[in-house]
Structure 1
Amino acid sequence: MPSLYARQSLPPCRWNAMLTTHPFDDDKLREECGVFGIHGADSASAVVALGLHALQHRGQEAAGITAFDGKEFHTHRAMGHVAGNFDRDEIIRQLDGASAVGHVRYSTTGETALRNVQPLFADLSTGGFAIAHNGNISNAAALRKLLVRRGSIFQSTSDTEVIIHLVATSSYRSLLDRFIDALKQVEGAYSLICLTAEGMIGCRDPLGIRPLVIGKLGDAHILASETVALDVVGAEFLRSVEPGELIIIRDGQLTSHRPFAEQSARPCIFEYVYFSRPDSIVDGTSVYSVRKAIGAELARENPVDADLVIPVPDSGTPAAIGYAQESGIPFELGIIRSHYVGRTFIQPGDKVRHLGVKLKHNANRALIAGQRIVLIDDSIVRGTTSLKIVQMMRDAGAAEVHMRIASPPTSHSCFYGVDTPERAKLLAAQMTIGQMANFINADSLAFLTIDGLYRALGEADRKQDAPQYCDACFTGDYPTTLTDFDEHGLEDQFSLLAERVV
């Protein structure tokens, strides 16, 4: 979850590590969390660790698992990847129990610290309570201020902890009623998995902005962010948790509750463009198939006379296949990605840092030289990545470089659980498409239209009065109130929250 309350400076070496380890990935929108829980399984924590491996793309800065053995809760949380933290037998043995919940996390511009790594745990009057959260509570600062005035003492800077305090201070008697009471006070996006002594609870926000699915492994039930995590552990996919649905898993039984007023669903459209793994199924739709359809729509909307279609690996590959098939232009791997560059590779100095770009991606020079190429990528955020890629193609001898983006221009910040720059740093919010093409030094640049994106998802077009998805990052049409934010975006948010923390 985003850490909303402290923006700390990192030492120069830390910034170098972050910016150079992923020379093409540091300009991507990042989903901030993945969650996985299982109830009623032998070695539950080992299954959770495998599930988190499959969800590693949703969060790579930290991971945690909490297990319940019938008497006590056991937690291990650590900075870094799942591998290296949860692939040791001694760690898994410490996390004994038939039920467990896990979390992988990306931090945002807020604090990166162990105290914010989830699952968060608290001993409440109703018993132990562990929570893992994907999303963002957009009124967390306002709620936190109120709770602190009432005497709550916060141990983290995570918006997720607000939910724990709302549960703890609720006047209702049962844990379920307290949990529902807490959720009715929050706004924004959330998919939650909570582990208690009585069972496991899963919940998706009333608009269904963030995904959550149900699976079964033998007699055990699973909740997870994506179906690919079920595939990896050998579980059967049952269905998606519906928007606004609350799932209780207890004594081998699963029950469904609908505590919220029904609303028209607005799931995040960017799950299909980039966030989810292509081998996942989101709300009944194959992500891979949608991305290929996006590429085909992009080719119909924005044709170009060229020799090769080249994906920006790996997220641009399915759309590039669709573009090539629709346009008849051959698909080729013109950029080769190395999968052996770790996040901790530190490069001192600008000159060496620039050379480090080729450690992660390198041009297939023999293929590209003298060719007119179409580069397919999923999005442009700040534009720095696209600039590097286009220059790499020119250095490899490309005769022309045309860029096609498999989504509309990203012109607005996300407040629903995505690490987005403030709007002033989004290229599409500051430039026309022509100016953006000049900035990245491309011969031409074109984006998929918003209606084209909807068509790729099987819709006739975007319903202006009732959009079928949350597409606020493209349109500025936010589906919920944003108590902690205003029209000026993140910069004012940080100033406001700094005042509140002090």
Structure 2
Amino acid sequence: MVDISASSKWHEECGVFGAYSHTEDVSLMTYLGLYALQHRGQESAGIAITDGAWMDVTRGMGLVNEVFRHQLPHMDNQYIAIGHVRYSTTGSSLLANTQPLMVNYAGGKISLAHNGNLTNASQIRREMEEQGNVFQTSIDTEVFVNLIAKSKQPAIEDKVMESLKKIKGAYCLTIMTENKLIGARDPHGFRPLCIGKSDTAWVLSSESCALEVAGVKYVRDVEPGELVVIDKDGLKSYKFAEVEKKAACIFEYIYFARPDSVIDGQCVHDARFMMGRILARESGFKGDVVISVPDSGTTAATGFAYESGIPFIEGLIKNRYIGRTFIQPTQKKRDTAVKLKLGAIVSAVKDKDVIMVDDSIVRGTTSGKIVRMLRNAGAKSIKMCVSSPPIGYPCYYGIDTSIRKELIAATKSVDEIREYIGADALHFLSIDGLKQSISEANSDDMCYACFNNSYPVELPKDDAVGADKYVFEHAKKK
């Protein structure tokens, strides 16, 4: 979405990547993989490497190319690397909270990168602190590291699996020891994780879009509740938990994932294109042109145009050189920020009945600004289509969302939202329509909690605290 001012989009926490090879440059592979996963997090990036004896990590604030502007991590004979790009959902955007985390413990050295959110992290961390454990960050990921370090199991695989059985929530992990690359996906499969392979290398990645650039081919997805271990003997698979109910995040298909990724057998582009087609059928909107809010609404908009026969044109242009998102303190500056990010093409929309397609409305502030922008450019009418149902409930599984009272669909009807954003008509994709769009995956294996309040994993007992991304920082101030 366009809002570089007050985060009208939901943001996922991060992307993870890991590479194992005795002949390839695993640091470069990981750098390229993170570059392909940059859309999953723009706050910070990091890469950890090992040569089997030594382990080192390089982390920094900013985009991948900013953090590694001058040099990639290097070590003679390095053969394992893991990487991370971050958008914070637990803990502030600080250097101390960047990943991968690296620690020395009685069993050796370990580095770990995490995508997701633990719903019982506060409870576990509080118990550990009472036992004398020291925490250096304010992110839930550090709970993993401490659980692994405290485990009495002899093998690292057993240490990790014992630790995973104690946690709840959403997670995909890449873990590196001096001689093994490990990946794990939570029992519900909230977050994606896939495996790639070439003749000389193994790779773990949050999305399949990062595999080709790293020089490997897609093998399969890591299954929910599965731990994979890659070492000199190849790949081994372990089942650490039974899958009670799969609950992959539906927003991977709506917004988060890159369109050229395939997740659990479903091409993301195909799903979004079908969302647009079904939007055209459900809404019945007529107009002169179909436009998108770039880039996240574009695929659905082309699907709408294909189904309706109404031509798709570029009505909004995105400034691709504005860099990372940022927050402005005043309304005037926030409005200026949107204008910097997006511009209306007057000749394309003037005197036209415009159908505008976007993927979601969270707070509604940015949608209103775009509608005003189009009206100022001379659009005769603006009908808005949204390729997701109304978002009425927060996410606790690794998405940085508002508290419920800040979600516009929690307090306003569709018609009230339409009036608030200033559109002439508004249609949200139905949940049934959304399910029809995911034709190659099992639509019943998805999490729709942000739409229907049906959470597949128990929530924090204190929702006010559990939903707070700064929970560990606030706790220290008490």
Q: Tell me if TM exceeds 0.5.
A: yes
- Aligned partner of 2:402 in structure 1 is 421
* TM-score, scaled to structure 2: 0.95
Q: Deviations over 1:115-139 (max 9, x none)?
A: 1100011112111111000001110
Alignment-derived partner of residue 343 in structure 1: 324
- Cα deviation, residue 154, structure 1: 0.6
Q: Is 1:65 the equivalent of 2:42?
A: no
- Equivalence for 2:458: 481
TM superposition shift of 1:216: 1.1
For the residues of structure 2 that align with 1:290 and 1:318, how far apart are their CA atoms?
Answer: 9
Say if 2:455 is the partner of 1:468: no
Match of 1:407 in 2: 388
Q: Which amino acid aligns with 2:227?
A: L
Letter in 1 for 2:261: S
SS at match of 1:498: helix
**Residues 256/111 of structure 1: CA separation in 2 closer, same or farther (3 Å cut):** same
Query: 2: CA distance between counterparts of 1:292 and 1:239?
Result: 24
Give 1:256's aligned residue: 237
Correspondence for 1:375 among 342, 351, 356: 356
Query: C-alpha displacement at 1:337, in angstroms?
Result: 1.0
Which of 32, 35, 40 aligns to 1:53? It is 35
Question: What TM-score comes out, normalization by structure 1 length?
Answer: 0.90
From 70, 75, 78, the equivalent of 1:88 is 70
Q: What amino acid is the match of 1:498?
A: H
| Contact persistence 1:67–1:99 (CA under 8 A) | yes
Q: CA deviation at 1:363?
A: 0.4
- Distance, in Å, in 2 between the alignment partners of 1:460 and 1:57 is 23
Segments of 5+ residues of structure 2 without an aligned counterpart are: none
**Does structure 1 conserve the Cα–Cα contact (< 8 Å) formed by 2:135 and 2:142?**
yes
Q: Which amino acid aligns with 1:136?
A: N
Q: CA deviation at 1:70?
A: 1.6
Distance 2:437 2:93 in 1: 37
Q: Which runs of 5+ in 1 are unaligned?
A: 1-18
Q: Which residue of 2 aligns with 1:75?
A: 57
Closer, same or farther in 2 for the Cα pair 1:82/1:488, shift >3 Å? closer
Q: Would you say the 8 A contact 2:355–2:383 is kept in 1?
A: yes
Question: 1:133 — aligned with what?
Answer: 114
Q: CA deviation at 1:353?
A: 4.8
Amino acid corresponding to residue 168 of structure 2 in structure 1: E
Q: Which residue of structure 1 lines up, in the alignment, with residue 11 of structure 2? A: 30
1:167 to 2:144 alignment? no
Q: CA shift at 1:168, angstroms?
A: 1.4
Change (3 A) 1:96 1:405: farther
Whole-Å separation in 1 of the counterparts to 2:311 and 2:3:
31
1:245 maps onto 2:250 in alignment:
no
Structure 1 residue 481 displacement after superposition = 1.2
Q: What's the offset of the Cα at 1:500? A: 6.6
What corresponds to 2:281 in structure 1? 300
Aligned residues: 477
Q: CA offset at residue 197 of structure 1?
A: 1.4
Whole-Å separation in 2 of the counterparts to 1:485 and 1:282? 33
Aligned-partner residue type, residue 256 of structure 2: F
Matches for 1:431-446 after TM superposition, within 5 Å? 431-446=412-427
Contact preservation (8 Å) 1:145, 1:500: no
Instruction: Please state whether the residue corresponding to 2:66 is helix, strand or coil.
Output: coil
| Equivalent position of 1:229 in the other structure | 210
Amino acid of the structure 1 residue aligned with 2:457: T
Cα distance in 2 between the residues matched to 1:311 and 1:47: 34
How far, CA to CA, are the matches of 1:347 and 1:116 in structure 2?
23
Q: RMSD of the alignment, in Å?
A: 2.3
- After TM superposition, the structure 1 stretch with the greater mean CA deviation from structure 2, 345-354 or 159-168, is 345-354
Paired-residue identity, %: 44
Cα deviation, residue 382, structure 1: 0.6
CA apart distance, 1:96: 6.4
